[in-house]
A and B are shown apart, each in its own frame.
Chain A
């Protein structure tokens, strides 16, 4: 299990077989009240390892991570990490690559967390660095644009914005097995 977000009364999680290859992915859904598993949507083989499934503007937004070395498939390193917009049936509609400057900070790992902000920007984390990258969809071409890099208290991976408290971001602290709430400054 890589990361989750709450959609309605359900906890929607991105799961993959990382670090096994070939990469396979699935969406696992849980009831937020009982935390019982409700259903699974198998995505099978895809353009990477599913690390994020977010909901925004009536669409699903998935991150398919790719890695250099452990968990990576031959001929497809971290540069092939993609943000994919999907319809309600999890069918891909559009896809974007990540900014090269962000990929360099994530290398040799990949994007491990992402959540749409209420400011219309996409916030993404890598696998290890204590940073969150504010990104936006490009007006043209297929690479996301880096708007700002913001320091984070915890070293990357799963994130999600608080649905009620503005600029409160929930992250995980792996070293202490904690969930951490941080107040994130606005983008410059």
Chain B
């Protein structure tokens, strides 16, 4: 990521997973964030689901697979998710 310009240079290689970002997760969900802006584990899963795209059963793949950025739908995927920007 180009932090100065606040752009992700190549979002197709971005596998960022908020559910593993301890500094953002609330303490009740295993994180270290104590302020009101902390995210819950459920919110982190929802963010990942938005990036992955709609699925028939509501599940989403591990961001490490980058399945949401393919130009072909994965099994069970109804449509493409949002690009990580």
Give the B-binding residues of A (Cβ under 8 A).
101-102, 104-105, 128-131, 146, 149-155, 173, 176, 178, 180, 182
Interface locus among B2-10, B21-29, B35-43, B56-64: B2-10
Q: B32 interface residue, CB < 8 Å from A?
A: no
Interfacial chain B residues near A180, Cβ < 8 Å: 5, 7
Q: In the complex, what's the smallest C-beta–C-beta distance from B6 to chain A, in angstroms?
A: 7
Q: Which residues of B contact A104 (CB under 8 A)?
A: 71, 80
DSSP class of A's interface residues: helix, strand, loop or mixed?
mixed
B11 at the interface (CB under 8 A from A): yes
User: Are the C-beta atoms of B8 and A101 separated by less than 8 Å?
Assistant: no
Query: Are A130 and B5 in contact, CB atoms less than 8 angstroms apart?
Result: no
Taken together as a complex, chains A and B put the C-alpha atoms of A173 and B6 apart, in Å, by 10
> Which residues of chain A have C-beta atoms less than 8 A from B80's C-beta?
104-105
Note all chain A residues with C-beta closer than 8 A to B85.
130, 155
Q: Is the CB of A101 within 8 A of B71?
A: yes
Given contacts A102-B71, A129-B83, A151-B11, 4 further A-B contacts (CB under 8 A): A131-B11, A149-B12, A155-B83, A176-B6
